[in-house]
Structure 1
Amino acid sequence: MYAIVDIETTGGHASANGITEIAICIHNGKKVIERYSTLVNPRRDIPIYISALTGITNEMVENAPPFEDVAHDVYHLLNNKIFVAHNVNFDHSFVRYHLAAAGYDLQCNKLCTVRLGRKIIPGLPSYSLGKLCRHLGIENESRHRAAGDAEATAQLFSLLLQSDKSNHIPQALKQTSKEQRLPANLPKQDVEALPQSPGVYYFHDQKGKVIYVGKAKNLKKRVCSHFTGNNPGPQRQEFLRNIFNITFQQCGTELVAFVMEAVEIKRLWPKYNRSLKRFEHAYSLYAFEDQRGYMRLAIDKHRKMTGAIYSCNTLFEGRSILMKLIDAFGLCPKLCFIQNNNSECSGPNTGNCACEGHEFVTDYNQRVSLAINELNKALPTFAIRDAGRTDDEHSCLLIEKGKFYGMGYISHYFNADTLDQLKNHLTPYPGNDYIRNMVDSYAIRYPDRKMVFAG
């Protein structure tokens, strides 16, 4: 038995919105044998634009029963039935959420007439309920009202049952089939094409624009995890409705997938990505010459397209590095902006310091240059050589002087004698501390995969 459901609501997600009308048509596989319909008091105002769409006003539902008063009837109509709706995950999420709030746990199989329509009647320009019904000659004089739309969906479902020569409906109902969990607009073959290997995946909207980028140790498993559960929150519901296609890049290792995800989020700026989007270097070490000709070092907020000597996440880290250089090379804390008061210089050359004009510019600047060179030498240059996408290649990520340079794939037989030889086989990518720290941590965990080059 099938329960064909349509609801009208105060908004697009269950956790913050109510049901204003619900209609259920019980279908025995041949015809509708029972009908149920009622207005529902959502106990909140119905937005004007929704009233304009559905015709349901606050006055109409004022004396209607709240959902908990009809929950018993709704649950027993749906229990042990197959839940059918046009874009079933929307209706199911609302009904299940509000039934749970009333103390009922709805567990049932689902069928989506959008997905079934795409399979059984392929090639149509649109699978919205209104356009699909017009194409098939199904009349609906109560569009955007629960009873009218449920009745139209029931007629559509009858036609799909009759036209299902390839047994798409029985296949969708198999216990092993998880197709009904998929977003209504996502082709099943996009998921079936995903390999069980590391990589980066991209969710695209109806226009092909990337709206989400993710990384995975197992692409198929990770992508499918997005479609499990019954989270009724607004972001998830909107997110699922906007997924129309999936593409992917295979990566040799999970580390490469992590780095590629970070790079692609910065490049594409997808709508639904939150983490990593705004990850930037917070502070950098800069060198500049003042009006007297003295070279000065300073930790300042990171600025793009500037010649930073070193970048870091915290002011503390930057100041710690600078203080070590001051101690090691006898630099002036005032000229390095570590000491900002008008007191006597606290550096090692008090009374004969550059900040007081007592040291030749060339002598002081030579020590600053030595400090910068020593810092550059201390920054590591190494590559991570690891598994590739196939047996005859390796993945390779390069850190050059403490900064992420890029990555790529090299032949299983390739041996780099010099850093320049290796760089010719890699693609440069923009880096940040997040990427650098990931690669550094990986090198510590797997020292046998690390190739060290002279700085």
Structure 2
Amino acid sequence: MLYAVVDIETTGGHASANGITEVAINIHNENQVVESYTTLINPRQFIPAYITALTGIDNDMVAEAPYFEDVALQIYQLLNEKVFVAHNVNFDYSFLKHHLAAAGYDLNCRKLCTVRLSRKLIPGKASYSLGKLCSALNISIQNRHRAGGDADATSILFNMLLETDHEGVIAEMLKKSSKEQVLPPHLDRASILRLPNQPGVYYFKDNKGKIVYVGKAKNLKKRVISHFTGNKPNKQRQDFLRTIYNVDYVVCGTELMALILEANEIKRLWPENNRAMKRYEHKYDLYVFEDQNGYLRLAIDKHKTNNKSLQSFNSLLEGYNFLNQLIEKYQLCAKLCYLQKTATKCTAHDNGQCFGVCSGIETVAVYNKRLNNALAELQRLQPSFALVDDGREAEELSCLVVENGTFYGMGYFKDKTYLADGLAPIKNDLSIYQSNSYILNLILNHAAEFPQKLYKL
């Protein structure tokens, strides 16, 4: 079997916006390096000063170097049908795959990461960065942070790993079923193997144990592995993969429960990589307040975290439509609900729809009583129910409870007779979670789709 031990230097940390400045490839036959190739490359972009300070490669050095497309065929032929070996292999592989694709070549190699291999075959080292690991193993690196020097050091390290591998670790890692080649360099395969094929929520952690991402899954093992497949070259993905050192999880009875737990955990933990769910909030609410004349007034306004609302809406139009329905049904005044801004009486007064509160005809007591009756009926119409579904194991059931149109909480129990005594005893055994329109809509849509799971309370 032939291996291509690779190192590259670049203008930045991700392939989609950065170029390659140097490539080194050592062809290894499992015993020794039998062929070497190295070249500077003109990246067609400015090399930042901090990169020059690290590598010594500046703009003048690459001015007369070939462009990547000029050497792409030779690089592709050296890599094709070899096992691609590198220290933090997914970084080098993502760059070369991206730039070879731009030149018309489709690179598809099996990969080996010498960071991951070293952790398995030479455990207990303080650091597995190339420089510190080589220092600990007495491997001399000539021209550190140059492609040729680092590729040569990686080749010597690879020799040591081959000699140390008495248990067939490398052969096992190269199996398609192992998934080793797709995992981030610092994530132990054992963390993946212990994941169940069940719904739940997973937590990616960095080297200090801080949670950097929370996700939900219908199948925990399959979903977590899917994060690492492919070789997307964008900065966000590459930075994300480098931060992952461990993964924890919580099993849920259903995918719906996983969705709800995910939403609550993101709000609780605020992980730096959960951008989409962080941005979610319902935008508008229905509020009631008393004005200086004593009249109760309804208003649609932007969501305020510390203000108690009667109802939440995803858009201003949705809120206005709902408020108009209340006004028509309960003969409220559109002017007092801020839907009309006339200086005089509202337009509905003339046709008898409004009883003249905006003209001072209807008293505070009479108007407020009718508005309170409307709010009371609105509250009575809010649903209270339980959704009963599969649990985390065969002898268990799950339960989600909505009380008066608000998600209350969820939990697990053994027998459906548990529901016979109504809502009060159930609530004592549930974990309470934050409710918002996103979560409530998830539950209501699920209840509409699966009415057989619904228990009215």
TM more than 0.5: yes
Q: Which moved more, 1:349-358 or 1:99-108?
A: 349-358
Q: Is the 8 A contact 1:398 1:407 kept in 2?
A: yes
Counterparts of 1:24-173 in structure 2 under 5 Å?
A: 24-173=25-174
Q: SS of the residue aligned with 1:380? A: coil
Q: Residues of 2 paired with 1:292 and 1:102: CA distance? A: 75
Q: Residues of 2 paired with 1:239 and 1:91: CA distance? A: 16
Q: Is the 8 A contact 1:330 1:347 kept in 2?
A: no
Q: Residues of 1 paired with 2:63 and 2:128: CA distance? A: 34
Name the structure 2 match of 1:268: 269
Q: Residues of 2 paired with 1:125 and 1:149: CA distance? A: 20
CA RMSD of the aligned region, Å?
A: 1.4
Name the structure 2 match of 1:389: 392
TM-score by length of 1: 0.97
How big is the shift at 1:329? 2.0
Q: Residues of 1 paired with 2:61 and 2:356: CA distance? A: 85
Q: Residues of 2 paired with 1:351 and 1:330: CA distance? A: 6
Q: Please, which of 405, 427, 434 is the counterpart of residue 430 of structure 1? A: 434
Deviations 1:149-179 (A, max 9, x none): 0000000000111111222111112243221
| Identical columns (%) | 56
Paired letter, 2:211: V
Q: CA, structure 1 residues 100+351, in 2 after alignment: closer, same or farther (shift >3 Å)?
A: closer
How big is the shift at 1:46? 0.5
Q: Please, which of 389, 412, 415 is the counterpart of residue 412 of structure 1? A: 415
Q: Does 2:403 match 1:400?
A: yes
Paired letter, 1:407: M
| Structure 2: stretches of 5+ with no match in the other structure | none
Q: Residues of 2 paired with 1:88 and 1:393: CA distance? A: 44
Paired letter, 1:449: K
Name the structure 1 match of 2:5: 4
Q: CA, structure 1 residues 140+328, in 2 after alignment: closer, same or farther (shift >3 Å)?
A: same
How big is the shift at 1:307? 2.0
Q: SS of the residue aligned with 2:276? A: coil
Q: CA, structure 1 residues 350+408, in 2 after alignment: closer, same or farther (shift >3 Å)?
A: closer
Q: SS of the residue aligned with 2:277? A: coil
Q: Residues of 1 paired with 2:353 and 2:5: CA distance? A: 86
Q: Is the 8 A contact 2:328 2:353 kept in 1?
A: no
Name the structure 2 match of 1:445: 449
Name the structure 1 match of 2:335: 334
- Moved runs in structure 1, 4+ residues, more than 6 A? none
Q: Is the 8 A contact 1:344 1:350 kept in 2?
A: no
Q: CA, structure 1 residues 407+351, in 2 after alignment: closer, same or farther (shift >3 Å)?
A: closer
How big is the shift at 1:352? 5.4
Q: Residues of 2 paired with 1:62 and 1:241: CA distance? A: 32
Q: Is the 8 A contact 2:384 2:404 kept in 1?
A: yes
Paired letter, 2:255: E
Q: Is the 8 A contact 1:181 1:227 kept in 2?
A: yes
How big is the shift at 1:416? 4.4
Counterparts of 1:213-252 in structure 2 under 5 Å?
A: 213-252=214-253
Name the structure 2 match of 1:199: 200
Q: Is the 8 A contact 1:388 1:394 kept in 2?
A: yes
Q: Is the 8 A contact 1:416 1:422 kept in 2?
A: no
| Structure 1: stretches of 5+ with no match in the other structure | none
Deviations 1:49-83 (A, max 9, x none): 01100000000000011111111221121122111
Paired letter, 1:163: T
